Amino acid sequence: MDTKYTDDITKGKPMNAMRMVSSPMVLVPAYGNTYANEEALRVAWCSGVDFKIKGGPYTSIRDLSELQDHCSSLWIFDYVSGAKILVG
């Protein structure tokens, strides 16, 4: 199984398969974008805008099925506005 994903709990160490499927994944706005509220986040996500996996690569809705294989839930969180949505 691919172990390239890391999280804050493991302090950058590769995640094992059990941790991958039992841990949430957090995406943040890419390229310095910010979104004022949850509706703006959802519109951007559904439109195919890029987001960044916290501690990982860029991604978008086109990768949703693969992302869901690596986590228990998928969240988008804008640290600037505090807006957050569950997308998977």
In the chain, what are the domain boundaries? Answer: 25-86
Helix, strand, coil shares of the chain, percent, nearest 5, are 25, 20, 50
For residue range 3-29, list pLDDT tens digits in order: 444 444 444 555 555 555 568 999 999
- Condensed to tens digits (0 to 9), the pLDDT of residues 38-86 reads 999 999 999 999 999 988 899 999 999 998 888 889 999 999 999 999 9
Cβ proximity of 14 and 2 under 8 Å: no
**How many whole angstroms separate alpha carbon 44 and alpha carbon 35?**
9
